[in-house]
Structure 1
Amino acid sequence: MSVRHVPPAAPPTTLAACSYLAAPLLALVYGVLRIVDGFDGSRGPGAAWTLGHLAFMAALVLFAVMLHDMRALLGRTRMATVTFAAGIAGIGFAFVQFAVDVVVGFMAADHEAMGPLFDQVQAVPGVSLLVYQAGPVLFYAALVALSAQLAAGRHVRPWMPLLVLAQTVLPVISLDLIPVGSALAVVAFLPLALRARSRSVPAHV
């Protein structure tokens, strides 16, 4: 009887350890700047619009690092790999969406001028579905799924995926709740950040 060999999880890098906290904190920055941007009754263009979107684009890059480390922690199983691939695809679609928002913000003279520019982009076949609707959902679904897999494997506490789920649901209720959801994500990922940091630092003999 053969025993299937599961490769050990690769040791995380310092970047992976930092990403668990930096990614949701950057998302929190975006959420706060989004609220600030709306103080005058409209959002974009302007400094708050641009900086907020750039902060979230940076967060997406770090979320990709997070997903990679979560997959490694699970031993790169088939389920973890498929989930990881879906998450990276979702991150790619979300990154394109925010990049478009930044470009439109630079091109538009005022808020009213942004609408026609967005209409032109979303008129391209497939863009509205992939970039603005279904595509980014893959990222959030993968984040919850990987968290659930980690909990099932007893790598994290059972409450961790519940907080991650809440973090993804709150912005659906209201985008103004993004800072609250991001704060929950910080709490959810803190144990993984501490664990990854301890694994990435070599022990002194």
Structure 2
Amino acid sequence: MNPRIAFVAAPLFVLAYGVIRILDGLDGSRGPGLAWTSGHIAFITAMILFVSTFVQMRRMAGRTTLATASATVGIAGVLALITQFIIDIVVGFLSADHAAMGPLFERIQAVPGVSVAVYSGGPMLFYLGQLAIVVQLAATRRVKVWTPFLVLLDFLLPLIDKDFIPLGAICLLISFVPLAGQASRTGKPTPALA
């Protein structure tokens, strides 16, 4: 796969998930059903593509120990998010309606360690790893100085309201487009001017 594709496609799949999520909630509840499943598949696809972006950003950052640690933390977060979204899909398939989903989620999250690893702490690693490696790229002038702020917005907007996921995805797409250009170059990327 062309490394450029992941930098553009990953935010677009998150955008698709965010839009589908909003549409799924127009009737007052989310899931189960086609919208629930397709939205979650879009997000899982984004996460798989983000693995490639972490690998490429690590390369752009010079494969330093800090870049490797940041990419590793980010990929661990990807795995947690994929696990969470697979659980969500399975719960959707096992539930006759939205009300039936709640007890299943409660049983899963009651398993020791699952809530932290899959629903709270684990997913945060994705965002922290991504922000850390983009800050490194900005510090070495591989990306514009404003890039980490857009990545941070992608992280913060859904914390304010999950309906802001599409807006956060657009911020991430804007920040990733210059990285897409660098990902296809061989050798050391040209420093970006601030």
Is TM > 0.5 for Structure 1 vs Structure 2? yes
Matched, 1:188 2:166: no
What's 1:176 paired with?
A: 163
Q: Structure 2: how far apart are the matches of 1:86 and 1:184?
A: 22
Distance 1:81 1:196 in 2: 17
Alignment partner for residue 128 of structure 1, among 100, 115, 127?
115
Superposition map of 1:140-179 within 5 A: 140-179=127-166
What is the identity, as a one-letter code, of the residue corresponding to 1:49? W
Q: For the residues of structure 2 that align with 1:173 and 1:197, how far apart are their CA atoms?
A: 35
Shift of the alpha carbon at 1:198? 4.5
**1:106 partnered with 2:90:** no
**Matched residues in 2 for 1:48 and 1:115: separation?**
18
Question: In 2, Cα distance between the equivalents of 1:152 and 1:27?
Answer: 27
CA distance in 1, matches of 2:59, 2:17: 28
Which is greater in Rg?
A: 1
Alignment of 1:1-205 (within 5 A): 14=2, 16-199=3-186
Q: Distance in 2 between matches of 1:197 and 1:129?
A: 37
Aligned partners of 2:60 and 2:183 also within 8 Å: no
TM-score by length of 1: 0.89
Runs (4+) off by over 6 Å:
none
What is the CA-CA distance between 1:120 and the residue it aligns to? 1.1
SS in structure 2 of the partner of residue 125 of structure 1: coil
Q: What secondary structure does 2:142 align onto?
A: coil
State the Cα distance separating 1:199 from its structure 2 match.
Answer: 4.1
Shift of 1:74: 1.1
Which runs of no fewer than 5 residues in structure 2 stay unpaired? 188-194
CA distance in 1, matches of 2:112, 2:133: 31
> What are the ranges of 5 or more consecutive residues in structure 1 without an aligned counterpart?
1-12, 201-205
How far apart are the structure 2 equivalents of 1:90 and 1:198?
A: 27
1:68: how far off? 0.6
CA RMSD of aligned residues (A): 1.1
Aligned identity (percent) is 50
